[in-house]
Amino acid sequence: MSAVPLASPVEAYFEVANRCNSKCATCPLTFDPQERAHNLTFEEFVKLVEQLPHLKRAVMHGIGEPLLNRDLPSMVRHLKQRDVYVLFNSNAALLTDARQRALIDCGLDEFRVSIDGSTPETYIKVRGIAAFELVIANVAAMVHLKRELGETNPRISFWVTGMRENLPELPGVIELAARIGVDEVYLQRMVFSNIGLAVEEQSIFRGYREEAERIIAEAETLADRLGVTFRGSGAPTLPQMATRCPAVSPRSPASRTATSSWATTSRTACQPRGRASATSSFEIGCTAPSRTTPAEIVGWAGACSAAPS
């Protein structure tokens, strides 16, 4: 099916920062930061939002750490005034008490913590920095703060990019979530680019499928018992996470989700027909879905955050 421009997107990804305080072995940013370092400014952001009159859902990350952008809470507030559902993924290493309060206060709907393991050893192998205990302490503190303030939002969840290195710790992540009061755990597909740990040999299908399905089933049983919601992102069912994951280039426009628009900090915006081009004015284009099921959205942004919510 060929892509047809939509009148105006209902979903957008905003890469509010394109640098990171982490060094994940799965992330292209760790090995090859291709773009000039830039945080989206509030003014730039407002210009983008003005072009999206029908926006209903906004994801505030691209490739980089959103908490590095000090204007993030103001951006979220701006979207909430327009009744947009707002979420983002974060490594949560910079989730200080002040940031926790700001994120609760601005009305953020979902805060997704990329955890990728249940032990400091796996965390450092996959995420590249020795921050496991810090991240767990930060997230536990935010759960506590939400309770203290009587707030239900943002929903806080753990995210695991599934690969052979960390899949055996999936049940451990569910236990950890239950222990510190995180209600939801998501498994997302690893997109392999053949750099770092993002290599085909790490994938949880082909030669590992049976083991992956066994671990996922164990995690599902445990989640049921502990009252933790456990879902797959971008696949209709959890077992399907282990069946396929095509290789795509994270920076290719075709690998971005095809159902929404996206804007990067380096002034690239998704244009009609899914082609990316540099713009000086942060104009946004959009594409109609060229694929039909969530399972078939295999791109970088899709794999990151396309979980139905």
Ligand X SMILES: C[S@@+](CC[C@H](N)C(=O)[O-])C[C@H]1O[C@@H](n2cnc3c(N)ncnc32)[C@H](O)[C@@H]1O
Q: Which spans of this chain sit near ligand X (rule: CB under 6 A)?
A: 20, 24, 26-27, 61, 63, 65, 89-91, 114, 159, 161, 188, 190-191, 198, 303-304
Identity of the residue, 64 or 302, whose beta carbon is nearer to ligand SF4 in the bound complex: 64
The C-alpha atoms of residue 45 and residue 71 are separated, in whole angstroms, by 10
Q: Is 22 in the site for ligand SF4 (CB under 6 A)?
A: yes
How many residues bind ligand SF4 (CB under 6 A)? The answer is: 11
Site string for ligand SF4, 47-76 (x = CB under 6 A): ----------------xxx-----------
Q: Is 264 in the site for ligand SF4 (CB under 6 A)?
A: no
Q: How far is the CB of 62 from ligand SF4 (least distance, A)?
A: 8
Rule CB under 6 A: choose which of 12, 13, 16, 20 binds ligand SF4: 20
Residue linked to tokens 């707002």: 86
Under 8 Å between Cβ of 173 and 215: no
The C-alpha atoms of residue 275 and residue 2 are separated, in whole angstroms, by 13
Helix then strand then coil, % of the chain, to nearest 5: 40, 15, 45
Under 8 Å between Cβ of 167 and 204: yes
Q: Which option in ligand X, ligand SF4, none does residue 160 bind, with CB closer than 5 to 8 A by kind?
A: none
Q: How far is the CB of 8 from ligand SF4 (least distance, A)?
A: 28
Q: Which option in ligand X, ligand SF4, none does residue 159 bind, with CB closer than 5 to 8 A by kind?
A: ligand X
Q: Is 157 in the site for ligand SF4 (CB under 6 A)?
A: no
The C-alpha atoms of residue 285 and residue 138 are separated, in whole angstroms, by 37
Query: Would you tell me the crossing angle of helices 132-149 and 97-105 to the nearest 10 degrees?
Result: 50
Q: How far is the CB of 65 from ligand X (least distance, A)?
A: 4
Q: How far is the CB of 4 from ligand X (least distance, A)?
A: 28
Q: Which option in ligand SF4, ligand X, none does residue 161 bind, with CB closer than 5 to 8 A by kind?
A: ligand X
- What values do phi and psi take at 95, rounded to 5? -80, 70
H, E, C per residue of 260-278? CEEECCCCEEECHHHCEEE
Rule CB under 6 A: choose which of 30, 193, 260, 264 binds ligand SF4: 30
**Helix spans in the chain (H):** 28-31, 42-50, 72-81, 97-105, 120-127, 132-149, 170-180, 209-226, 300-305
Enter the DSSP assignment of 182: -
Rule CB under 6 A: choose which of 12, 27, 191, 198 binds ligand SF4: 27
Binding site for ligand SF4 (CB under 6 A): 20, 22-24, 27, 29-30, 63-65, 91
